[in-house]
Amino acid sequence: MTPLRTRIDDNVSEKVKKIQPSHLSRQAFINELILLGILMKYKEENNMAQYIYKDKELDKKGLEAKEQKEKINKKEKQEKIIPEDLIHLEDLIQDFWKVKKGSKSIQAWKLQITEYRKFIDKYGEQVLKDQLDAGVLAGTWKGLKLSNYEEQQQRINRFNKEPEQTATHPNQKVVQFDDMGNLI
């Protein structure tokens, strides 16, 4: 492979001279800096000077903290698994979970799964689907609760019922006759 000759700005060259270690040639050091820059870009780190001059102890602590954070994130993802009985509703549940407001903790996840099962047990799967769709469309719900659904249904049904005539007029009497036509 033929080497690529690139012109380096004089200011950059002076900066390289200041930080160049004595055990590396200028060409080797510049190649190393370019490789580090590529790695930095790949790792999405912004400041190359911090990468070159960083303390090794801080580096180890940073790696340990990053690994710890990854373990926590993996644990959360593992615990937010949709149960087998609700797996066919996975897309709806995930869509609702993305747009819902309020807590998105593991405890909230477990409570929501319990509420989904209550909906299915009491009203059937279609009602749960409708509620999940409505929650996604609204985008402001904090969660689905069976008690909220039932309360809303009572409000709706209150206006749809025909008035019951249980109260009778005070002058209204029930008159009964026997087989002979005599008043009882």
| pLDDT digit string (tens) for the chain, length 184 residues | 677 788 888 888 888 888 888 888 888 888 888 888 777 776 655 555 555 555 555 555 565 666 666 666 655 555 688 888 999 999 999 999 999 998 888 899 999 999 999 999 999 999 999 999 999 998 889 999 999 999 988 888 887 766 566 666 777 777 787 877 777 7
- From CA 94, how far away is CA 104, in angstroms rounded? 12
Residue with tokens 């749809």: 160
| Overall pTM > 0.85 | no
- How many Cβ atoms sit within 10 Å of the Cβ of residue 53? 9
